[in-house]
Every structure is written in C-alpha cells, then in structure tokens.
Amino acid sequence: MLCFLRSRCLNLVKRKKFWKCRSKSKWNLISIPVIIEKQKFKNIFRKADKLYFFDTKQYTNETYIENGKGYWINMPEDLQISIYGHPLSKLNLDSELDLTHGWHLIGSLFAPCTLTSYSENCIEAIFKYEDTYKLSTILNPGYGY
C-alpha cells in the first residue's frame, strides 16, 4: 500500500518560510507544515496544556510533536503562533506514519494538497474538523485530518 501527499508548490522547499498558525481556544486539530526536528510541543505552543495523537486504537497523550502527524491540541485562548522552517512539500504516509487499516490522524503540507497517488483501500475518506467532522478533499496547511 503506497500513499503519498505531494504539494504542487515544490519550489517552496529551497527557502525557509514562516508558517503562521491561528488556533482557537479549546480543542484544535493541527499539524506542523514546516520541517522541524522532533521537539516538545510546549516549545512551539507554550500556552497549550494537552496534545493527543491517535494511534490506530486509542488516543495517547504526547510530549513531542512531529511532521506528518495530526494532533488534537487544547489551547486556553485564541492565539497566533509563527514557526520558521523549510516548507514540508512531500510525505510518504506509509513509511513515515506506518498506516494500517483503521483510523489515523495525519498532518498536512505547506501548501494545499490532495492525495496524488494511492493504492486501492489505502484511504477511504478524509475528515476535517470544523465544530463537527466533515469530509474533505483538500488538505490545508496546519490542519490535522
């Protein structure tokens, strides 16, 4: 099973860019669309109190945040955060996230994208969260799915 996310804006990779994240108070489904070293989420989201990742069967409370993954994060107030790094323009969902059959939280790239290549039964549906779950055909930067 091969699943890829690929941005059409591949020229973004050469230069570092700022990514600005706007989060609402309470729970947000997020990802990091710039390349970062694995680091504590508190280094980026200083006021956040909880970060959760869904790993096939259950939610796990996380300390570290990584590219390619989607996370639920609890914010005490509306905030805007800037992160500086090389734009994430490609992600192999199989080798980097180890997708198996079932539910997963995945991240997004620096530019809006769609699934460009996937085998049958790789991904059945993609959902975004905007006060309720909704089907999505485009993955927008900074959101989790």
For the segment 5-18, what is each residue's pLDDT rounded down to a tens digit? 444 444 444 577 88
Are the C-beta atoms of residues 71 and 52 closer than 8 Å to each other?
A: yes
Domain boundaries defined on the chain: 3-135
Question: Which tokens is 31 given?
Answer: 């990802």
For 132, the 3-state DSSP assignment is coil
Contact partners, residue 127, CB within 8 Å, separation at least 6: 133, 134, 135, 136, 145
- For residue 54, what is the enclosing H or E element? strand 50-55
66-104 pLDDT, tens digit each = 888 999 999 999 988 888 888 888 776 555 566 677 788
Question: Which tokens is 116 given?
Answer: 């460009």
pLDDT given at position 105: 87
pTM metric for this prediction: 0.80
Residue 121 reports pLDDT greater than 70: no
- A 10 A CB-CB count for 89 gives 20
Average pLDDT value for the chain:
80
For 59, the 3-state DSSP assignment is strand
By CB atoms closer than 10 A (0-12, 13-18, 19+), residue 67 is: buried
- Which residue, among 1, 16, 3, has the nearest Cα to 88 in the 3D structure? 16
pLDDT given at position 3: 40
Residue 123 vs residue 6, higher pLDDT: 123
pLDDT given at position 11: 41
Residue 140 vs residue 2, higher pLDDT: 140
